[in-house]
Each structure stands twice: as structure tokens, then as C-alpha cells.
Chain A
């Protein structure tokens, strides 16, 4: 329960609420426990001696007890709500803030889907346990202990029965927990298998249909489904047997009390009122035992969630902040790579055992890798050296996986180099204030990420204070103005989640406008015109020459036409700069470049002669 305790440390600011919550939990229990005593008083002092005043007195105190119980219950509810919601709010907030501070290296290792589960469902599980679970646990414990004490006070000899039964129940519950945990682990694993099967089937539906494999898929599902059902039945049967057994234990206690108590009454050691009170305490005390099993399950779940939450917290941002970070209003845009090598920290997959959660879990993938004890992946970049003067255009070419994106991601320090250094304006990026640097680097990422909000909000994402004129100018340069004004509400048109109402090319152009608007000193296009047709791309490039003439521009592209006019073309091959130079130089000296050129344009160029001829003849006629 270590992580759960850690989660509870977030309760600190709510100390007083916690204290009152405790008091208001104890009070109702005490009131409830007083009832059998008062009843006993009414029977022994009122009914048998036939004294109505005593009966009235007893009833009056019960009434008082009920009222005190009611008022404190209200108080308890309030405190619980404040504490648990506050706890959840604080954890959520801290978690979200922490996630925002994580570097790309961290994010690569955690799937965003999982991160979201941590912030929403895991926090909610902890919250629910901190409210209902904790209050119930406290109540159950107080009830059991309280009724034990009351039993001892009433008659210690008879209480031995209760102690015996409680002990047996305790052992039984422990046994039950062990069994259930084991079975739940299996069920959970089976569920995971079933989910994966369904998910893959649905995601690959086209393949399933194309190969006519529905029958095969159904058979596989059927097998897994049956297995899951049988495992579930095992758990269900265990519970179906266990709960009545606990009930029987309590009832056997009642009978034993009746017999031994009856004998004691006859021996005048006990009054009838006391016997009844004893029996009632037995019921009050044993009843909650039935809850205990469920509660422990809840606790185990909450612990698993808490563990996952702290896994995130314990992931230290991979980027270290310089002691005196450099801030600058503008950057000139000089970029230099000196002997840079880089690799992604490799993710170590632990044997994936979902059920680990039930056992109290194990530290999972990322906590371990981040402290990367020299665990390294293969180098993605080797000994990269080059420099770019302010205003120059650098193009990067190469096959997928040759390291182009990794290279540009080092400029705004999304990752730290493994060796060598990256300098912007002559200063190592590790000396820069990350935010200051990034807010001057216009990144157009490979996938255009749009946020819900208007088109204008999205373009002004990096500069929320920008005027409409500036936004329009950026959109015009990105060749987005035309389609934006064609939208029903122009720049105020809402963008649906994930940009569902825009085409791929439109999304890319908005992302480009966004990058232009911050008047960047360095501009990076990471394959960001792939969905834009060549004509438009050409116009964007022409517009860049005026709007972002001062910016050092890096272009990664698949189409060779996108890079022809660059000042410097770097051809990457397996993480190394294999060739460098201008288009003309590379055509003459770079075999890889020439190969790419040929495969894309060579034939067009070669055929040129013939088609040209037919053209001229056509014109001549």
C-alpha cells in the first residue's frame, strides 16, 4: 500500500477537514453502538420493573443519538467531499503539470493513451477510494472494534465466542483474498487477451475481409471468450460460496450466544436485556465483516492506480535545465552541429503482466529506463557536423529512418544529443532557456496537430496576442487564406476535434501559418507539405522568400522538387551525412542524390526531348 500512502500525502492541505471527517465518522458509529445498550437499559430498567419513565428516558436518548448521528453524518459527507475532490484536483493538476514538463524522450516511451488514463481514471479510482473506501474502512473497523469492546463490557465470557468467530472469519477472509487475487490476475490477463483480439480484428477489418478470415477470427474469439468466461465463473463461484460462509459464521455465533447466554441467564449471571444487547452487538460487529472483503479489493485497485500515477511522477524530465539559462528576445538563426551523435533511449519491455497490479505491482517500463543505466539504443545519428548561416535554406533528404526528423528535433532541444553539441547563435542549446528557444523556432511537425477552437486561435497558437491582420498575413503566405475565407465563418470557423473538418493539406497549411506567425528565427518543415499539391507548395515557398527571408529554414521533404532551391542539401543515409552540396553539385558528385533524382524526375527529364519535339511541331502547324 506504499503508493496509496504517497497519494494520501496530497491530503496534507486538508488537515482540518480530515480531522473533522475523522470525528464525524467516529460519532455516528458511537451512536449506533449505543443503541443496543439503551435498548438493554429500557428492557432491564423499564419493561421488567414496569417503569414507563425509564422507557421514555431510554427512547429519548436514542432519539438524541440519532440526531447527533445525523448531524455528524452531514458533516462527514461534506468533509469527505472536500478532501477527496481536493486530493483528486491537486493530484490531477500536479500530474498534468508534470506531463507538460516531460521531454519528447519521455513522451516517446509513454503512450499518450496511457498517460490520459493516469490523469483521468487512475486519479478517479484513488479519489473514490479516498472518499467512500476510506470512510467505509474506518467505519467497519470502528464498528468491529467498538462492538468488541461493548461485548467485553457486557460479558467477557460470552465475548470469547465473538473473538473466536472474528478470528475464524479473519483467517477465512485472508484465504479468500489470496485466492481471489490469484484468480483476478488470471481474469485480468484473459480480459487483456480478449481486448487485444477484438481491437486488432476491428482495426484490421479490411484485411480480415480481404482474406475471408471471418470464420478464423470467430473461432479465435470464441476460444478466448470461452476461456474468459470460465475464469470469470471460477471467481464468481468462489465469491458465491465465500459470502454465505461468512454469513453462516455470524449466524452460528448468534446461536452460540443464545445457548451459552441462555444458560448464563438461568445461572443469573446475565439479564435478559443484556442477552439481547449481546446478540445485537454481535450482529452489528459481524455485519461489516462482509464488507471487508470488498473493501480490500477496492484498496488493491486503488493501490494499483496510485502506483501508475507515481510512475509518471517519478519520471524525471530527461532534459536538465542549465543553471543560468540564456534568454533572448530574438535569435539570429545561426545553427551549428558539431560532431553530433544521438540515440533514443531504448524501451525495455518488462514481461507484460497486467495482473501485476493486483499483487501490488512492479515498477514498469519507464521508471527504469529513464534512469538509463547506460542502456542505449542504436545510434540514429552519427558524427553530424554542419553549419547554417542566418537566412539560409537547408534541405534534408534521405530514406525513412535515415535520421532526418531526429536531426531537426535536436534544434529546439526536443531531445538532448548523446554526443557532440548543437549550437544556436553560437550557444549550446543546453545553455538556452528551453521556452525562450522554442518560442523563436517555428516547427511545422510531421503530423499537423490542431486544437479545438477557431481557425484564428489555431494560427495564433504560438502568439495568442497577434492581431487579425498578422494572422491573415501568415495565412496568406501559407496559402491558407483562400480556403479559410471560404469556410462558413471565415477565421472564426470552429475546428472540430483533431481537425476532422479539414483535409490533410488544409491542416498542414494552418500548421505552416502558425509557424510563420511567431516570426521565427529558425523555421523547420518536417515533411509538412506532403498533402499539399505541388503548385501550392511552390507558392508557399515563394511567399516564404519575402515573409521569412531572415529565418534559417530547414526542409525535410519526400519530393525532390521541394528541395531543389536549397542553399545546402544534406543527404542522410543511416544516420550519417552521406552527401552535401547544392543541387547542381550533388547531381554531379552524389550517387544517392542522383538515384533519388532519377527515380522521381529522371524519366520525365529524359523523355523531355521527345515530348518537347512533338510540342514544337504541334505549335509550328
Chain B
């Protein structure tokens, strides 16, 4: 009897989840800009995954006879100052972009979530101290902080990602804290607490999961910002180092030829723009769907 009941609830739950997911997908498909964003992001993932098959040349192999050649049948987007194929470098560069974004997201979001959730749940002086620290980080210009930090650590992809993480976690802490303040005294948390759950268990199993939908929206927007900051650092010369085909660094070398060989600098920039636009569009659409406050208003 009880076993049957349990199975029944489980299948019912699964069915409900599938319907919910389908409804979500249907609502998402009604937003053409959001779909465009999703396509761009999927294309980026695809490009990064299949880079060796999509590239037409070795991204590091110079062909000195083809230096700075204009886009043509062999070099689709032209060749750079060492005669390397810009199209192939773009393709491989997508991996670096994803690497930086991934590194920053997997470090900054959990750090912020834990700090915010602990801060909101604990309250008192813990909350006061953590939030003061968060405010200090929030009130400092991000790019400059990242710049000074990488300048001190030394340039490179990992250091650039570290520096961006340092500036990217505070919004997650704010978000998680706000959510935790609402949830910490709700009936279900009190019930779990009465059942003997530790505070750590409450934070990790009950409060953090409740923040996830807002965190996902925030992450999607953040990815656009991270891509731009990383490209900015690369452009200044503090991010990925040559000969890595990082898009920002490619613009930086192409800058010298901007008037006579415009394609060297403009094409990688266009790639950055399209990718960050994709994340922004996707973020916009996800926010409309997931943000409970907006859902109520409409």
C-alpha cells in the first residue's frame, strides 16, 4: 500500500515536471530574440567542440607569403600579420572564450552563493561583516580592479579569470542573501530545523537550491559581461598571451593595421559582439520566464 503510493507520487511528480518543462519550452519559443540568443550560444558550444573539423588551417601556422592578405577563397576572413588564417583562429578562440567564462562562473557563483546564504541565514555580526565586504567589492570599478590584480599577478588566462572572479562574486552574494532572508523563517525551513537538520544542511540543501533560478538568470547576463571584460583584458595585453588566438588579443595586434587591413581587428571584435549579444538575449528571455517578480507583474 505505502510502496504503491510512493511509486504513484513519483510518476506523478515526473509527469508534472515534464509538463512544466514543456510549458516552459513553449513559452520560451514564443520569444524570437531569446531563441536567437539560444542559437548563438549553442553555435558557440558547437564551434568550440568541433573546432578541429571546422577550421581550415592550423591556427598557429604562419604563412609568411600570405601576410595580411584580404579575405579570399583560401583565407575566408583574411590572414593576420604572420599570415595565420583569421577564420581558423576565431574558431579555436571560441574555446578560450568558453574556458574563461567557465572558470569565472564555476568559481564566482558558488563563492557568492555560499557567502550570501550563510550571511542571510546567520544574521547578526556575521551578516554585517560579510555584507560590508560585499559592498566594498561592489563599489569598486570592476575592470580597473581586475586590471590592477592581473597587473600584479602577471598576465595570463588563469590569472585573468581569477581577477574577474574577484569582481564577479558580489552580486551572487547579494542575491542569495536576499533570498535567504525571506526563506530562513519560512514554515518549511522551520519544519526541517525542528526535524533536527543542522544549519549547514539548511543552507546547502534548502536555501541555496531556492536561489538557483535567479542565479541562472544572473549568470547568463554575467557571461556577456565576463566575455567583454576578458576581451578587454586581452586587448590591453593582460589576458591570454600570444600566440593564443584569444579574440581580445587578436584585436590588439590588429589595431596597428586598422586603416589598411581593417579585417585583422574588426572580425574578432564582431565575434565578441555576437557572442556577448547572444548571452544577453538569452539572459533577457530567461529573466522574463524565470523571475518570479516579473511573472507576477505581467
* Bind each other: no
Interface residues in chain A, defined as those with a beta carbon under 8 Å from any beta carbon in chain B: none
